[in-house]
Amino acid sequence: MATETTEYNVPDSGSKVAAAAKEFETEHLAVSMGPSHPSTHGVLRLNLELDGEIVRKCDPEIGYLHRGDEKIAENMTYNQFVPYTDRLDYLAPLASNAAYAMAVEKLANLEVPERCQAIRVVTSELARISAHLLGLGAYTMDVGALTVFMITFEEREKLYMLFEELTGARFTTSYSRIGGVTRDMPDGWMDRVLAFCEQFLPLLDDVEALLTRNRIWFDRTADIGIISKEDAIAYGLTGPNMRGSGVDVDLRRDAPYSGYEKYDFEVPLGENGDCYDRYAVRMEEMRQSVRIVRQAIAKMPGGSFYAEDAKKIFAPRKEKILSSMEELIQNFMITTEGPDMPAGEVYFEAENPKGALGFFIVSKGGGVPYRMKIRGPSFNNLSILEKVCLGGMISDVSAILGSLDFVMGECDR
């Protein structure tokens, strides 16, 4: 008996999907994200072109915080510019102060005493912890985890109390002078720093317990915003963002300055270059910073905290100015004409919390730079946005921004 067969016409599912996609193809939507958007951490504006929720084009617009720092620098003495360096990376002013002072000292070919170097290391590493804490808190808040922000801001508050005791200011510290620091550490300050480190590490473990194996955190950050090793180098990324992509460069270890070669620390590296790796690198960097701070305090050298023999660069102490004619004249010259600098060109980069903060100084002699270029690491870190945001969801943009941990003060300068 012959069976009756019916032939069904089944179009292949691929072409069906394609036809449906064509039917629902939407026009690209232009969205201006920022300049005052909570996840742009300052005044960054992204001109996004969206296809539904997918980012098809990202054009970052910067310059909203441009104050002309380089022009200002050409019109004042080297010491007068120190407060402006507070406002470059305003989340880690102590580190920017030290980086600037070291650049000018390189121009003057001036060795600062070991105690001054060690103080700068301690303050820079505390600034790094403070900057990473803020970056981490804001980053987690952007992707919806509010608790971490509370913990990190409490820790930052403790750091601010320490900074205030050391420098007299919580935020704009202006702690460096060319050839030294403004004042020595107060009595018992190092013990209080050690006490802070003691209670800080368990809290960091708490934060890690909240995030590192958290499913939601993992979903929001893993495999999001992947930056390849080649891209990280080609776009001039520096700091934790570059090391998150697995590029093994840390200027503290590889081109040591300020006595970093004396301390024992490890450089954490990421593997995939995604948002999660950049988070993990920053967490580990904070632990290493604590390690460096403890070592630096343990072998804190005695002696002077400024270069005493650099009489034409570092203004003499107040008690000497009031009692000696020679010192009075020195102080007058340094205040009015600026420190005496040789002519020449130097370029110095320091490993700051956000990356390599560079100063290119062209001097024609005298107390005022002829041209000073500031290389803000956030400027380069942001330039990769136009590539890394493409093809991702709009909700990933805030995760990427948080993981890049930029600060507009040094991006726009």
C-beta closer to other proteins: residue 316 or 339? 339
Please report which residue ranges of 222-346 form alpha helices under DSSP H: 229-234, 240-244, 251-254, 275-298, 318-321, 325-337
For other proteins, give the closer residue by CB, 106 or 320. Answer: 106
Could you say whether residue 21 binds other proteins (CB under 8 A)? Answer: no
Q: Give the count of residues interacting with other proteins (CB under 8 A).
A: 58
Give whichever of 151 and 384 is closer to other proteins, judged by the CB atom. 384
Q: Which residues of 7-39 are buried (b: 16+ CB within 10 A; e: fewer)?
A: eeeeeeeeeeeeeeeeeeeeeeeeeebbbebeb
Near other proteins in 142-181, by CB under 8 A: none
What DSSP designation does 393 have? B
Among 87, 184, 222, 236, which residue interacts with other proteins (rule: CB under 8 A)? Answer: 236
| E strand residue ranges, 151-267 | 176-177, 180-181
Cα dihedral 162, 165, 169, 174 sign? negative
30 binds other proteins (CB under 8 A): yes
Q: Kindly list the strands in the beta sheet with 341-352, ordered across the sheet, starting from the edge strand earlier in the chain.
A: 341-352, 355-366, 371-375
Distance CA 242, CA 277 (A): 10
Contact residue for other proteins among 83, 214, 371, 394 (CB under 8 A): 371
| Candidate residues 235, 257, 263, 314; the one interacting with other proteins per rule CB under 8 A | 235
DSSP state of 182: S
| Nearer to other proteins (CB atom), residue 163 or residue 257 | 257
Closest CB to other proteins among 64 and 160?
64
Task: Give me 52's structure tokens.
Answer: 């539904």
Question: Nearest 5 degrees, angle CA 255-CA 256-CA 262?
Answer: 145
- Residue 25 binds other proteins (CB under 8 A): yes
H/E segment holding residue 47: strand 45-51
Answer yes or no whether residue 96 interacts with other proteins by CB under 8 A: no
By beta-carbon proximity to other proteins, the closer residue of 245 and 331 is 245
Residue in 169, 194, 226, 233 binding other proteins, rule: CB under 8 A: 233
Close Cβ partners of 62 (under 8 Å, ≥ 6 residues apart): 44, 45, 379, 382, 408, 411, 412
- Where b means 16+ CB within 10 Å and e means fewer, 51-77 reads eeeebeebebebebbeeebeeebeeeb
Among 222, 321, 362, 393, binds other proteins (CB under 8 A): 362
Token pair 């005695």 in the structure block, residue = 302
366 binds other proteins (CB under 8 A): no
Binding range to other proteins, per CB under 8 A, among 183-191, 268-276, 316-324, 343-351: 343-351
Binding of residue 254 to other proteins (CB under 8 A): yes
Asked if 54 interacts with other proteins (CB under 8 A), we say: no
272, 383, 393, 394: which one contacts other proteins (CB under 8 A)?
Answer: 383
For other proteins, the closer CB: 7 or 25: 25
Q: Is 344 in the site for other proteins (CB under 8 A)?
A: yes
With H, G, I as helix, E, B as strand and everything else as coil, classify residue 177. strand
Task: Report the alpha-carbon angle 376-358-354, nearest 5.
Answer: 50
Q: Single out the segment in contact with other proteins by CB under 8 A; choices: 8-16, 293-301, 374-382, 395-403.
A: 374-382
**What is the binding site for other proteins (CB under 8 A)?**
24-30, 32, 47, 49, 57, 59, 61-64, 66, 68, 70-72, 75, 106-107, 109, 231, 233-236, 238, 247-249, 251, 254-255, 342, 344-349, 356, 358, 360, 362, 370-371, 373, 375, 379-380, 383-384, 412-413
